[in-house]
Structure 1
């Protein structure tokens, strides 16, 4: 009887909200398109989960009449929200697929090199992740030796449950379960260019992972291009206990001084610590749903309004482990 009541409440809740779950699939294979980007074209949006599913309701987003959908390897798609279908089909982008490289296993001696991540537990030194922002960090290639990335180390700052105990290392931490997407780009004119990995790379992190999440990418066969590599991080949203991506919270609406409504993206945890220990500006930011999806270097000259830049904290200190192969 209890389970029946819960189910009945869920059905009533969905009806009131105008619940609509849509699945994005490949037009040929009918396989789901995992983690596709769904933009509202107003500076906000959301992501599909690993099964290509996302939830859109006119109750939550009454002013959104068109969705702009994109995914790696597929043609961009524009679709009206009126009578949104249960299934959306995407065509493959043949020009992108033709660029996929097949690499053979390298059986040579190598030396392991490490670049340590920059950790910081100061809340005021941190970036608050939102799904509309992608952060990329540049790593140069100092010579012509062949280099394969095996691990990426992402700094994370945890928050204490009790603010008064925030400086204690043994203080209980606020729980979270968050899914991130990682991308690798080559360098084109000093900015992130084309992706050099053609598979979705995601990871889930919780407060139990501590202040440094290590992602093993050894099986991805990612080699550092001669002009260097950009490694990016993008939050997809919170997950359930099984790692399944949950529906994103609606953005906040704040009334400005002139009476207009400003939509503020939802912040997610964990926090990402920035540092002033890197001399060059190696961090780049992209607003996924706005500014024509263009990259900008994270510096004052790029007109970013950020307290981090005011404090001289202009880099996210990702760490790296890679193999340097001998001739």
Structure 2
């Protein structure tokens, strides 16, 4: 891909397969290639089961890659490391999880949850300094210092996600993988959390991989967006360009399903229906994986897998309708 900006994370032909039984292998992530630039938000979208959450965890190093590589600041994430190297990596890369309740230890106070990373990395020399850092983090995410003595069950979903964000920020990371951070929240709270993340990014120079299935919210936060289908990318483009001129039939179908507030536009626009179910990642279709559901499918689609090409500057697509595949 064209590197017009400083690349922070490089993902090359990344695969994460799970052995189901003696004969079957589930190909959750099956050949991802893209870069994430320093200071940007890269949105990763797709239907449930397309492999986007597995991709996020593999990029983070929580899952070992089956093949391919992830490089963070030029260094491999999955190569064997010394304790010090691993510690530095985990400090630089943090994660915000989908379920803010399941990801917080119910037996720990909020203060201790947030301070866990501070303690592990020795970022506070005294108890007073530790308390001060925790209180500052709570205020940063819109909570009060007094909340530190409470437990996760005493908070709403939106407040718990703010605690999760504070925990991720505690070690001053450069890169945060946000795995569907708003999908478990009420719609009214989602915008608040997204706006908080944008504000923190501006203040702290953070880089995000924002994983979601809500395309309207992804547009609001992302600089570039990658669309995943059955373990691989079908399209990557700057956010506005992807939403205004989507190239891949799958992307076009996803975007046509987003509700529009204007009734006149909603009545006249074409709704693209994708029929059938997503094929099994254990036995994906030959050629183009989307061909079994694609309204534009041609004979070549069943025989040859389309290459991921740069159709226009910074606009990548994997489809036989474009270029010479």
TM-score for the superposition, normalised by structure 2: 0.24
Report which of the two has the higher share of strand: 1
TM-score for the superposition, normalised by structure 1: 0.24
Report which of the two has the higher share of helix: 2
